[in-house]
Structure 1
Amino acid sequence: MSSWEDELRKHFPGYLLPASARQALSREAAERFLSRLGHRVDLLDLLLAASALSPLADEVRAFTRELTLIARELASRTQIQRIEARGHIRGRLDVPGTLRARASGAPDSVTSRVPERRFDLPENVLLVATAERLAALLARLEQSGVIAKGTKKSWAKGFAEDAETIRHALTSTRLHDVPRAPVLAVHEQAARAARHPAYRRALCLHEAMKRMDTNDAVAIARLVAEGALAPMDAATRFELAVLIRLGRQIEDALRARGVTAELHRALIEPRRAEVFDFAAGGAHLRVLYNQVCFDDLGPRDRGMRHYFDNDGRFRPDLTIELVRDAKRIRAVVIEVKLSDKRDYLERGYHEALLYRAEYDKDLTGWPKAILVVSSAAIHGSPRREDDVIAVDWANWVPDTVLDGLLDGFGAPHVARSATPKG
């Protein structure tokens, strides 16, 4: 395991979460946390699905096989339907009904009794509801990246094919005739008492998927801690490692300088954009991840909007801003690249130069833009004469860069509290 992966394993997600959320995390806060870090809004649902189904992978496959078999002999009931027609009979003649109709003034009316096979048994309702939810989850799990092909996540290998088999059975067999309805206790009881094993497997999977709907803050916190990295690609994980190392190094540097700062971990707060907020002496040093904090459009964004009708913003991986009296004093942007390919890393440096030009008005002080790379491809140390510098992971964060980031922030005589606030 590389050093950055080791650091991420040790400090994610604890270093990014307030202390109060490390043991108990609300569903809303967890969704916000994961969407801001993982670039998608459904990570919590996917983690919950993986958590619920991974211990039952064999049950999933057995249920898929049995569903196609039970569809051929689906339990049903017969209901007699009375039909009134003129001059012809369907089913068996209902003599009393016909006589009553004719006595009431319909001399050519014929009443018949037609048996109708119905599949609305409560165990069938649970079977179909479980199959539909399961098919949707299986497809999403394999397509999402939560289930990585060729890895230890192979417990879900073939889930996409299982999903397609289930969907086919639901649309091309008698299962299509089962009414769709919310599953209630009566449906669960019927499935528990049914003789065919497919119903009991359906009940088992239904109960497992019900646990996905949990609002238990302790369970959610544990799930996020154990599984949140699984759906994230390697490039995103490296960005998070760079982010966490930056926060830890700033914290250590402030302590070494005798500056006592309050550290607020704010990523899960709905009205805060930053990940970290170091507060000392009336100043705030804020670290943002995957956010645009600059109001004015630069030449790149103006051109894209004018010529291509593209309202997107040129978004740095990380931004550090020094704020005093609600006014930004300076900012630094950081581009992060995971690669050992020289040409790709050089393009990353070009991007950092472009950020420097795009946000020129706000990037004061030194450095103005930083490229951080995963490989040992950087041969020179940061030079003060360079507005845009490059650093590899092994040297992240250089003391000279920390000096520049902390210039003008805090002072020992105005420190208020030695205890970081989570």
Structure 2
Amino acid sequence: MSSWEDELREHFPGYLLPASARRALSREAAERFLSRLGHRADLLDLLLAASALSPLADEVRAFARELPLIARELASRTEIQRVDARGSIRGRIDVPGTLRKRASGALDSVTSRVRERRFDLPENVLLVATAERLAGLLARLEQSGAISKGTKQSWAKGFTEDAEAIRHALNSTRLRRVTRAPVLAVHEQAARAARQPVYRRALRLHEAMKRMDTSDAAAIARLVAEGALAPMDAATRFELAVLIRLGRRIEDALRARGVAVELHRALIERGRAEVFNFAAGGAHLRVFYNQVCFDHLGPRDRGVLHYFGNDGRFRPDLTIELVRDAKRIRAVVIEVKLSDKRDYLERGYHEALLYRAEYDRDLTGWPKAILVVSSAAIHGAPRREDEVIAVDWASWVPDTVLDGLLDGFSAPLVAHGATPGG
């Protein structure tokens, strides 16, 4: 039996995606996929940022060091502006211009020429635009949890301090006098030709960040496949391993019975709440992840709303519902716990019991609630007389439990009166 980490690495995210999306995934679908796994809405942008900047981490740190230095000797140009004023003079008087103004009737007007130093050279525009975008990304990458803790201690270590150094240079040096404008080809060409190396470094970082703006479906699919696990904590990863194993076991069991089942992976579909929908004839077995599937409020939700004003719902990790002819036949809720501590796992079993009481109206058949744990802490096999059962990863999903989940969808794996086993 493989470890849950091995199984997750092998099947995530491919098993959760429709076949058409495994090699090509639109930006919108990728954002929906990641957000429905419980992540922040901008996770795709942060994954793109990590993908773009991780190969250039040393360049990032060098840029943060060099930016305040180049600001002290920032390249500039001098413009001479003609200024018309009444009663005061700035710069050097422009005698011909003054005479023309007075000849036109402005007898008290004085025209002068004023020298003004400007820093908005095209290479400086690119430098500042790169610095501003980079500072925002660095802080978000280290602070948002968009990269794993192990990653924080390696390539991204110190990015928050780098972001602060860049922002300080932008706000307290001559860089604040540089025009903020979109970067165009003329700015890139100027940076490429500039004498100081920091401009070419800024250009490399700019080009790397520009790749984040891709809408290429194949590139996004690769990024999600390679990077989407990184920001997840271990508990979330285990939940997904349990979800994927459940889907695979249901699919294999139905096909082994000769059921002509259609599997719809709906996680990226707009307006769909379920992850899997196994359809055959008029029956649908739907699997939900981290969703509230029941309209009515149970005693826990009613009490919390009444006494504390909290309208949040009590939400299982997984929910399975059997629907026939558009009518829910029954449902099962699943609580998932990653731990080898017995007292914590026992609390998980209490939660499963509470789910059983909360959603009593909809939980029919057997089992009604399941606790799935990562460790080998479960001593006994599931018993029919227990409406709430506990299963460890090594035996997930037991045939008797699978029989209960599929009862009413197709012929059972074993007779209902058989003694359940692992």
* Alignment TM-score > 0.5, same fold: yes
CA contact (8 A) 1:322 1:331 kept: yes
Q: How does 1:21-420 map to 2 (within 5 A)?
A: 21-151=21-151, 154-410=154-410
The separation in 2 between residues aligned to 1:30 and 1:400, in whole angstroms, is: 36
Secondary structure at 2:264's aligned position in 1?
A: strand
The separation in 1 between residues aligned to 2:36 and 2:90, in whole angstroms, is: 64
Secondary structure at 1:140's aligned position in 2?
A: helix
Deviates more, 1:81-90 or 1:56-65: 81-90
Secondary structure at 2:335's aligned position in 1?
A: strand
For structure 2, the residue ranges without an aligned partner over 5 or more in a row are 413-422
Shift of 1:271: 2.2
Deviations 1:47-103 (A, max 9, x none): 111111111111111111111111111111111122233333222121122222333
Shift of 1:150: 4.1
The separation in 1 between residues aligned to 2:185 and 2:357, in whole angstroms, is: 63
CA contact (8 A) 2:148 2:232 kept: no
Deviates more, 1:256-265 or 1:53-62: 256-265
Deviates more, 1:92-101 or 1:47-56: 92-101
The separation in 2 between residues aligned to 1:194 and 1:104, in whole angstroms, is: 46
Shift of 1:240: 0.2
Shift of 1:377: 1.6
- The aligned amino acid for 1:81 is Q
The separation in 2 between residues aligned to 1:391 and 1:99, in whole angstroms, is: 97
- The aligned amino acid for 2:132 is E
Shift of 1:130: 0.7
- The aligned amino acid for 1:155 is W
Shift of 1:4: 0.7
CA contact (8 A) 1:142 1:148 kept: no
CA contact (8 A) 1:147 1:154 kept: no
Distance 1:153 1:31, change over 3 A: farther
Q: What do you get for the CA RMSD once the two structures are aligned?
A: 1.8
The separation in 2 between residues aligned to 1:337 and 1:150, in whole angstroms, is: 22
CA contact (8 A) 2:291 2:316 kept: yes
CA contact (8 A) 2:142 2:152 kept: no
Secondary structure at 1:129's aligned position in 2?
A: helix
**TM-score normalised by L of structure 2:** 0.94
The separation in 2 between residues aligned to 1:98 and 1:153, in whole angstroms, is: 66
Deviations 1:130-174 (A, max 9, x none): 111111111111112233344586111111111111111111111
Deviations 1:355-414 (A, max 9, x none): 1111110000111111111112222221111111111111111111111101111359xx
The separation in 2 between residues aligned to 1:152 and 1:43, in whole angstroms, is: 16
User: What is the percent sequence identity of the aligned residues?
Assistant: 89
Higher RCO (C-alpha 8 Å, min separation 6): 1
The separation in 2 between residues aligned to 1:151 and 1:201, in whole angstroms, is: 23
Secondary structure at 2:321's aligned position in 1?
A: strand
* Structure 1 equivalent of residue 416 of structure 2: none
CA contact (8 A) 2:78 2:117 kept: yes
The separation in 1 between residues aligned to 2:405 and 2:196, in whole angstroms, is: 68
CA contact (8 A) 1:282 1:410 kept: no
The separation in 1 between residues aligned to 2:29 and 2:21, in whole angstroms, is: 9
Deviations 1:24-46 (A, max 9, x none): 11111111111111422122111
Shift of 1:304: 2.1
CA contact (8 A) 1:75 1:121 kept: yes
CA contact (8 A) 1:235 1:338 kept: yes
The separation in 2 between residues aligned to 1:204 and 1:100, in whole angstroms, is: 51
CA contact (8 A) 1:281 1:411 kept: no
The separation in 2 between residues aligned to 1:148 and 1:336, in whole angstroms, is: 21
The separation in 2 between residues aligned to 1:278 and 1:37, in whole angstroms, is: 20
Deviations 1:319-342 (A, max 9, x none): 000000111000000011111222
The separation in 2 between residues aligned to 1:89 and 1:256, in whole angstroms, is: 94
Q: How many residues align?
A: 412
- The aligned amino acid for 1:14 is G
- The aligned amino acid for 1:95 is V
Distance 1:2 1:41, change over 3 A: farther
For structure 1, the residue ranges without an aligned partner over 5 or more in a row are 413-422
**TM-score normalised by L of structure 1:** 0.94
